[in-house]
Structure 1
Amino acid sequence: MYQEERLVKILQVLNEQISMSVVEICERFTISRDTARRDILKLVEQGAAIRTHGGISLPVIKETILAYRERVRSFSQEKRKIGEYGADFLEETGVYFFDVSTTVCCLAEQVNKKMQVYTHSLDIAEVLSDQSAASIYLFGGKLNEQNRFFFDIEGVNQLDKMKFDAAFLGAAAIMEDGIYFEDKEDAYIKSIVVQKASKNIILADVDKFSKSSYYKGMDWKNIHIIITNQCPPPAFCEIMKANNITLFVAE
């Protein structure tokens, strides 16, 4: 099969499932990794696709960017303050994981240093694409359209081979037995990430301490720092103290 014919078929697959890994391209078209990488480079040069960590995906379309920017306008001042406070923990040449939280998006807007940022979040990738300081690595997979993150088992397996200086994580709910999220797949990613990061930092407004959600992503023992906008209820302060978690209030 000639390259041009193969590129058309790759784009057909991308239109159905948003992203493909290098391994998937090799297996589907019976080609070597070098040939798959040349195909990816060609599609990227043509503007037909973007690189992801370990593969390729469709470029972020204009409507998606506009929808994201509408969401940005609705971010509360509290989230922005938490994000600004979290930026103090970013260091030059650091290697970080950013999750899908809107508060972590506020952190991403503060990035102005050379560093590596790994994420499975469509919004984080869009934010960081507007600045040239950080290198962005987007994990691929099927797009969860509601909460705007990518997931597949191969991406999770890649996490197992990595280390991060810090992971910056949001929360759907902070409960007495741990940190919870809305999506099972997202919670599973967090459960892996916290094992691979030297420091796990939760960015969450105080309302999250009064909410409940469905899927636990981490225990309190996995957390090193919590940044919020008000002092949490006393019961949670006791839990943090018992687990040697440092609390910062971004006022």
Structure 2
Amino acid sequence: MSMTTEALKIDWAIMPTYNTIMSLAAGAGLLAVVIFSRDLFRFRRNNDATVSTDGWSLAFGVLGLILTTTGLHMTLTWPLAAGGFPFDNIIFGETSLGFGVPLLGAAFYLWRRGEALTSAPDPIAFAANTVRPLSLFIGGLGLSLFAIAAAGVTYQLFAAPAQEPISGAFAAYPIIEATFMSGLFALVGVGAVLFPFAIAKLRTSGAAASGLVKTIGIVWYLTGLAFLLFGAMNYFTHIGLIVNTM
């Protein structure tokens, strides 16, 4: 990326960026996890309720494939380093990969073992026992999201250039977007860090985990919606940035 004081010019041929679809899929993935969990709790409470494990397997598979492929490519090739943003490969690439692979795992599990889940005497405890080993990794991802949030505020990352529509209006105040994006990462991290503790309690006593489950559901739903809408908006803002900097 070459830059002057008058205009910003970016050689997009050497700096592919696709964190638009990553944000969209990550937001939809967080929402999907919350809604699926809600469906499973309703299924346990009400025998007349249904859970389409095939449908959720399809949803998790589609979102997991998008996040895994884009996250893996960004993690291994660092496409944003050419433009002077190597840290974004870690922030967006590794987190997408870390979320995408568990989604693919959930998709495969529901495809092959969905009937065993829904026919279990207590499907919540059954699911908690199944996901318990993976919950350690999810908790670790939460800690990494706290680290990303701290780095975002400390180094005032995430600020859009003035040439980017909408977000560029705050280019002179980088702390605004740094705080907004870091806050989103931190909130997702809160849910991820609490996840192993909620799973441990759900294995034995669902009532004891109700507070943790509600907290995780709230933070993941709100951040999922935010990432979904922010990613959708970025289809306009990033296209505008490309047009303005070619």
Q: Greater helix percent: which structure? A: 2
TM-score norm. by structure 2 comes to 0.27
Q: Greater strand percent: which structure? A: 1
The structure showing larger relative contact order (alpha-carbon pairs under 8 Å, at least 6 residues apart) is: 2
TM-score norm. by structure 1 comes to 0.27
